[in-house]
Chains A and B, each alone.
Chain A
Amino acid sequence: MTTFILRRLLITAVLVFFISIISFFIITLTPGSPYPWGELNPKISESVKANFRKQFHLDEPIWNQYWFNMRGLFTGELRSIKDGRPVLERISERLPATLALNLCAMTIALSFGLLVGVYSAKVSGQWQDTSLSTVAFGFLAIPEFWVAYLLIIGLTAGFAVPLMGTVSHGIIFPNAIAATLDWIWHLALPATMLALGSIAVQSRYVRASLLETLREDYIRTAQAKGLSPEKVLYHHALRNSLRPLITGIGSLLPALIGGAVIIETIFAYPGIGRLGYQAVLERDYPTLVALNFITALLVLLGNLLADILYAIVDPRVRLE
């Protein structure tokens, strides 16, 4: 077990290096510059431009810039070009909101994915299965922003579902519980929108994995013993087929965080997705480098955690 964890940690360290390189160079190697004024603005003198480049280390060779960015990120010295505040501070004040949104979306995606997946494996090959799979592809094919707007059109006509932000303004809550409930209520619509596509993907994973498990010999043994189909399905097969659900979290997170850019923009939700969109509009290089790096790092750590948890649950994994 220790060697397994050590190996995983070593691989993770290598991945962190690759991730830092990708997130830095994809931003710096693109043409254009992050000047807060126009590239050709005649009113800006050369010395101002030189000062600006010096301040943000833009006059240094690119590997030095990489070094400054990464060191600055870990020491908290990396500052946003837009407002001069440390990038880490800007991101950490937005991070809890995004984590809450993603956690909600993930819970929705996993639980509905599990329910639908198990049901469609149960009725595999029948018309219910075919229609569920069509619906799943429908969910995948829906542009999230489009549904969000349709819902906004539909819901503004008389339903009290909050469409913006995280708090109801102008209401003083008697206690923390009421405030928290209000906050969760604000999460409802964006989290559901975010989870739509992932429900479909997860349900397909669960279905495929469960059908695969149901073909194994020990299932035939259980059936031959005369156990009820329900007992075989839920007690014997389901447990062993949950591996893709755990590893699926790895692919779920990047999709959710990426999708959050659009959803947070629509619902005026103060998370890192919207911060990223603003940073893109402002060409704020340090914030973009940090955001790409930190989100990828979060995903990486999530994967590592899932891997280790899985190795604890299922000893077979350790040997691979």
Chain B
Amino acid sequence: MNPPAQTPFRRAVKRFRRNRLGMLALVSVGGLFVIAAVFAILSSADIPFPSNPNATNLERKLLPPNPINWLGTDNLGRDLFSRMLHGSYISLTVGFVAVTVSLCIGIVIGAVSGYFGRWVDNILMRVVDAVMCFPTFFLILTAVALLGPSMFNIIIVIGLVSWTGTARLVRAEFLTLRETEYVRAAKTLGQSTPKIIFRHILPNAFAPIFVTAVLGIPAAILTEAGLSFLGFGVQPPQATWGNIIADGKTYLLDAWWLIVFPGLAIFLSALSFYLAGDALRQAVETRTERK
């Protein structure tokens, strides 16, 4: 008997590498990470590089892009380029942590629902149905506004509202996986239920969960931007891409750079995550092999 030539993981990596668009998106996501990490450190250490993002200079307000302020200045003369760089980690943090929160809830509810089935499944899935009826963005807006807009609250609320898709997916995986022989073997050996759920079944459902997680990040980033735009995002003076646009909309017809550049940053980072996530989905998907 020969060992399998390729592990599923190696095959997925190989497939992913062949996807040029996916690799490009991955590189861009990686670049975004580096920028965000570097400037998160710089702003916590108050190092003004390329310049202080919160330093006002009314003599230089609303300047279009120029050699000193590469992307122009806002109505208080703050440098747009530095503000965008120092705001980059907010989007990424919100995206990542919110998705982690929603994954935790979704995995537990989906796993319990799919593993136990019957009335547990019935009740939990009706709750999922009920949550799915709500217009997500409006529900998030209401909760964030009433709790008070802060980064922590935004992350928690986005996570609390957006777990339903993950729960359904995990449930579907568990419904098929719980009938497999190795699960029956684990049961026969007298393993505890939590151990069967998290040690034996969950790792086998890893690939689709990982894909939804990656695709959830841009959605959370866009939601944060939308909240910022309505004035319920991360609060000033902390710059975020969303609240730069929100502040800039007053000068819409005089200062296009205040709208265009931060919006472009949101768009490109969300697009990179979506494309990377889609490439990942294609790489781990086994169904297309049948063709």
Contacts and interface: CB of A to CB of B under 8 A. Distances in A.
Nearest to A197: B222
B260 A14 contact: no
Interface stretch (B5-13, B93-101, B136-144): B136-144
Contacts of A19: 130, 133-134
Nearest to A204: B278
B128 to A, nearest CB: 10
A146 B243 CA distance: 12
B259 A149 contact: yes
B289 to A, nearest CB: 12
Given A26-B143, A130-B21, A156-B253, A258 B136 contact: yes
Interface in A16-50: 18-19, 22-23, 26-27, 30-32
B145 A280 contact: yes
Interface stretch (A55-63, A131-139, A181-189, A229-237): A131-139
Interface SS, A side: helix
Interface string B235-264: 000000010010001001100100110010
Contact of A257 (B138, B145, B146, B275): B138
B172 to A, nearest CB: 14
For A15, A31, A146, A250, the residue with the greatest tally of chain B CB atoms inside 10 Å of its CB is A146
A141 B267 contact: yes
Contact of B245 (A11, A149, A265, A299): A149
Interface range, A side: 35 or more
Contact of B137 (A27, A261, A296, A303): A261
A262 B226 contact: yes
A254 B134 contact: yes
Interface in A288-308: 288, 291-292, 295-297, 299-300, 303
26 contacts: A19-B130, A26-B142, A30-B147, A137-B275, A141-B218, A143-B222, A144-B226, A145-B225, A146-B245, A149-B252, A153-B259, A251-B132, A254-B136, A255-B135, A256-B135, A257-B135, A257-B138, A277-B230, A283-B146, A288-B146, A295-B135, A296-B133, A296-B134, A296-B135, A299-B133, A300-B133
Interface of A: 11, 14-15, 18-19, 22-23, 26-27, 30-32, 130, 133-134, 137-138, 140-146, 149-150, 152-153, 156, 215, 250-251, 253-262, 265, 273, 276-277, 280-281, 283, 288, 291-292, 295-297, 299-300, 303
